[in-house]
Amino acid sequence: MLVRETLVIHSRLSWRQARGAAAIERQHGLQALAIEHVAARLAGGFLQPINPDSLKEAIGEAIAMDLGEFNDIKALPGFSRAAAATLKKAWASGLKFTELAKTSDAIVRSRIDAVTRLEDEVLKRLPPSMRRPADLVDLALPHLRHAKTLFGAIQVLGRTEMSPVWRPFLAALKNVTDVRWVAGPRQVPAWVRALGIAVVWTPPERPEIQSESCASPRHEALEAMRWARALLASGRAKPEEIAIAAASPAEWDDQARGNEKAFWYA
């Protein structure tokens, strides 16, 4: 019997790691999705979140329009990047510009009006299938009865926080299927406990750290090869469990290539 389970991940790297681990463990019913893709799938109708490339393209077309206070700066370098960051942060926080303008003074209101104009022009130029986070949540909530079938048990993996716009959606999912916040050794936000979401917490690991003093990059590469070979020869580790890394590996490239044979004779 195929058991459906969903991991809510936070980055492309974590997505790759989750898929790799699922393949090794033969977890055929496991899927890894970002929270926005969970909402989009439940919303249905081939809807999807706004991707960065489409947003950047839409902003590039929108700056040709009248943007109020932004007209004096919209042609400056970096405006498109700043505008995209502003819209994404506002959407992630669930901020509504029209409501914010009602409680602001005249100076702030004129700037909010400029952002509102920009948002309106951008939304006109995005593909019809792309929706803002709040829109995806509003469209997904009426379809909660399908959540257990689509996602099964849900585990929010490796996060320390989640944008405010997704919190009501996560709370609603908790009422129809099993939702767990897998924190590991990380801090758990107070709102997670307030919503009554089950938390899976593990104590931090304290691995043993050893250091070696090497005279040159060649010597360092050789010692790294010796360390890996010793782990394999003693049976303490499998090849896929060993990693040799550097923040900037270019300095060691020539030495590592030159020490391929030394690996076997170290």
The pLDDT of residue 56: 93
The pLDDT of residue 255: 67
Q: Which amino acid is at 216?
A: S
Q: Using CA of residue 35, residue 41, residue 43, residue 48, what is the dihedral sign? A: positive
Q: Distance between CA atoms of 166 and 40, rounded to whole angstroms?
A: 12
**116-to-13, 127, 178, 181, 183 alpha-carbon distances in Å:** 34, 19, 38, 35, 37
Give the bridge partners for 5, in sequence order: 30, 153
Dihedral, 194, 197, 200, 203 alpha carbons, nearest 10:
-10
Sorted by where each starts, the structural domains of the chain and their CATH numbers stand as 5-47+134-201 (3.40.50), 51-125 (no CATH), 217-265 (no CATH)
pTM across the whole model: 0.78
Alpha-helical regions (H) of the chain: 12-24, 35-43, 52-62, 79-93, 97-102, 106-125, 133-140, 147-151, 167-174, 190-194, 217-234, 253-258, 262-265
Alpha-helical regions (H) of 26-146: 35-43, 52-62, 79-93, 97-102, 106-125, 133-140
DSSP 99-110: HHHHTS-HHHHH
The pLDDT of residue 263: 47
The pLDDT of residue 140: 97
State whether residue 43 is helix, strand or coil: helix
Q: Distance between CA atoms of 62 and 80, rounded to whole angstroms?
A: 10
Q: Distance between CA atoms of 10 and 157, rounded to whole angstroms?
A: 8
Q: What tens-digit pLDDT sequence spans the chain (266 residues)?
A: 567 899 999 888 888 988 888 888 888 889 999 999 999 999 998 999 999 999 999 999 999 888 888 888 888 899 999 999 999 999 999 988 877 877 777 777 888 888 899 999 999 999 999 999 999 999 999 999 999 999 999 999 989 999 999 999 999 999 999 999 999 898 899 999 999 999 999 988 888 888 888 888 888 888 888 888 999 999 999 988 898 888 777 777 776 665 555 444 44
**Residue 119's closest CA among 131, 106, 104?**
131
